[in-house]
Amino acid sequence: MKTTLRKYKLIVITSIVTLIVLSIWIYFSPYGLRNYLDMRARLTKVSTEVNNLKQQNKALRLEIRHLQSDPAYQEEIARRNFHMLKRNEMIFDFSKPKKKGR
C-alpha cells in the first residue's frame, strides 16, 4: 500500500513539474504566447500606421490634382505660402510692433 501511495505521489509531483515546465516553455519559447501577443500588438500598431499613411497619401494626391488643374487654388497657395501679390496690390501690416529687450 505504501508503494502505491509513493507511486501516486511521484506521478502527481512529476505531472505538476512537467506542467509547470511546459507552461513556462509555451510562454517564453521563440514561438510562444508572449511572442504571439507582442506580434499581434505590433501588427495592430503597423496597421493603424498604414491606414494613417493611406489617408495622408489620398489627401496629398487630391492637393496635387488641385495644384495641377485649378488656377484659383494655385493663386490661393501662392498668396498664402509665398506672400505673392497681384500687380498694383499692396500689403498693410497693422500688427503691433514687438518690443525689444524682453
Q: What's the chain's Rg over C-alpha atoms?
A: 35
Cell of 41: 500588438
pTM score of the predicted model = 0.57
- Calpha distance 14→32 (Å, rounded): 23
- Of 15-19, 85-89, 94-98, where does the model show the most confidence? 15-19
pLDDT of residue 62: 96
DSSP 35-79: HHHHHHHHHHHHHHHHHHHHHHHHHHHHHHHHHHH-HHHHHHHHH
Contact 43, 37 (CB under 8 A): no
* Average pLDDT rounded to a whole number, residues 89-93: 83
Q: 101: pLDDT confidence band, cut at 50, 70 and 90?
A: low
Cell of 101: 529687450
Average model confidence (pLDDT) across the chain:
90
Q: List pLDDT tens digits, range 23-48.
A: 888 877 878 888 888 999 999 999 99
Residues 6+ apart with CB under 8 A from 88: none
